[in-house]
Amino acid sequence: SSKSIPTTPSELIANPFESIENDTQQDELQPVLNEIAEEKRKTIEKEFVQTGSVKLNIFSIYIRSCKLFMVGLIMIFFGLTICASLRTNIWLSKWTDTVKSKTLTNNTSSRSNQIYYMNIYSILGLIQGNKKKDIFNDLVTFVKVHLGFLGFTMQLMQKFASYIAGRKLHWMILIGILHAPSSFFDTTPIGRIINRFSKDIDVVDSTLPNAFSQSLTILITVIVTLIILIYGSLETIQGLTSIRAYQAQQRFIDLSDKFMDRNQSYHLASSVSNRWLGLRLEMIANLLTLFTAITAVFMRDSLTAGTVGLMITFALQITHSLNMLVRVSSDVETNIVSVERIDEYAKLKPEASWDIQSKKPPPYWPIKGNINITNLSTRYRENLQLILKDLSIDIQSGEKIGIIGRTGSGKSSLCLSLFRIIEPTNGTIFIDNVDIRLIGLPDLRSKITIIPQDAIIFAGTIRFNIDPFSNYSDTEVWNVLELVHLKERIYMMENGLSYLLAEEGQNMSAGEKQLLCLARALLRKSKIFIFDEATAAIDMETDRLIQQTIRSRFHDATVLTIAHRLHTILDSTKILVLSNGSLQEYDEPKRLAADPNSAFAKFLSDANIHLSDIMSINSS
């Protein structure tokens, strides 16, 4: 007797050919199986796929699952971390600018300043932490690498929030499945349901938090970067007036386009090279994989299945590894150039000896301020022509020397020689019988005060600009402000001495900035002062106040004034006239003015100044 053909789906699925004894019965059963499969395909509902961008409510669901309180804390710590990173860079910039500006500090002060800035920079780096995504795999590695407080706290809260969200979303889908009607299971394949519990939950637990972290980090970084760029562009905006005044708009546009094209050409070459290399490395890796597979086939008797699988697995991974090896090696080689460039500057030929303990001058040197220059010749660099040629002058204590000459005559070069910014080729300079070549640079430069033509003002309080090292009391600061006629002006300002000045003193006039520099010089009480055309860019009234202060408060100091306006040096003790780096005239102003053949008399004539003017100034 023949067996009956199974007709229920469960029987067919369990063993559809269990009762078939021959090919004839199989042929009779095939149409029935096809009909059942077709009915099953009709009952299975096609998976619905959303198109277009993800709706905002989906983001809202995930954020609410993370708890709004946790999300708020994460956002705050993200901002603090980025700000710490920004502050680190700003501090490094400030450190660099400060080091550049400390040309007159002694060695001990410079070293202490560097230690101070280094400590703050280290603390900021520690607070900032590290945020590389490829070390998020386990909490132990994370704790070891992320020593930064903010970085560690932020990532810890992020992991905790993603854990809460994963649990809540898993609970939500579990409740949804358990409460679903039986028809759902008839129309939904079991693999689709399992995929939601496995892959999608894994994405929520692992991938999505990192994606959010990177997106948020980049977003905040972009915002902060834009702020920095906008702030930094203010300097460019300030230069728009000059650019438009000289009608140089097109020149700057062309220059910008040129730099942009050059940058993009390098970037294109780098990208094309990487693609070229990647293609060939993948070909090599694929050939290696093929060779491994062929070897496994021929050696199948001596290799176990596990060994073959291991070989194939690592052979498949070699593509990515080779690519990354070459790219990382290239990055290392590219970036190591920075070390080479740093080393190049670290080994630059230094200035003269910084600290010479055996030749240290007395603490109160110079006491008088005598300057003796003998046969001084100097040049800016080797193989360049001399800018001072066999110059010899004697300047006694308390003398006021006016230095004049045409452009390029050597006036500023003489001042640079006194500071040893340029070293003598021949000759000597003695200050109070001390050869300045034999002492350390800080010992020399800290004893001479210069007031340059361009007033140097730092961003900070008025007090900081006058007394940056807080060596003097407020009373002494107010006294020097009174001497330069700024006391009432600053007293009326909000916060007085604590009033904040903008970078380069943009919230003060040119005259006020120059008077502030004069107050700084008065506070130091040096025995030698140099005015390098200090009144060239200020109004006549401010010039008059400065000259009045110089006459009344620098009577016991040696003052060298490089003149832009001749009337500022008419009351000088002597006039030094330079021409092409050589001494042309050196005598009292009234004697030189009385000689019609003197160069000084020619200067006076060009400026419409007469001998009677000199006599009246001296008498007053």
What's the pLDDT tens digit per position in 524-555? 888 998 988 766 666 777 677 777 777 777 77
Q: Which residues have CB under 8 Å from 335's CB, separation 6+? A: none
**Region 506-520: what's the mean pLDDT?**
84
Percentage with pLDDT > 90 across the chain: 6
How many whole angstroms separate alpha carbon 516 and alpha carbon 484? 8
The domains of the chain are located at: 9-43, 54-233, 358-619
What kind of fold does domain 358-619 have according to CATH? Rossmann fold (3.40.50)
Residue type, 279: L
**Chain Cα centroid distance, residue 468:** 24
In this structure, are residues 353 and 440 in contact, taking their beta carbons and an 8 Å threshold? yes
The total number of residues shown for the chain amounts to 620
Average pLDDT on 249-257 reads: 86
Say what the pLDDT of residue 518 is: 84
| Interval 503-513 mean pLDDT | 82
pTM: 0.54
Region 229-247: mean pLDDT is: 69
Rounded to whole angstroms, how far apart are CA atoms 159 and 325? 31
Average per-residue pLDDT in the chain? 74
pLDDT in tens, 331-377: 655 555 555 555 655 666 777 777 888 888 888 888 888 999 999 99
Higher pLDDT, 277 or 101: 277
Helix 68-101 to helix 56-65 angle (10° resolution) is 90
Amino acid identity of residue 325, one-letter, is L
Residue 89: count other Cβ atoms within 10 Å of its Cβ: 13
On the 0-12 / 13-18 / 19+ scale of CB atoms within 10 A, 527 is: buried
The conformational region for residue 364 under phi > 0 = left, psi -120 to 50 = alpha, else beta, is alpha
- At 543, the amino acid letter reads D
pLDDT in tens, 450-475: 888 788 888 889 999 999 888 889 89
Q: What is the DSSP string of 355-399?
A: --GGGPPPTT--SS--EEEEEEEE-SSTTSPPSEEEEEEEE-TT-
How much of the chain, in percent, has pLDDT values that exceed 70? 65
Residue 399 Ramachandran class (φ > 0 left, ψ -120 to 50 alpha, else beta): beta
Distances (CA, A) of 41 to 35, 36, 38, 313, 591: 10, 9, 5, 37, 119
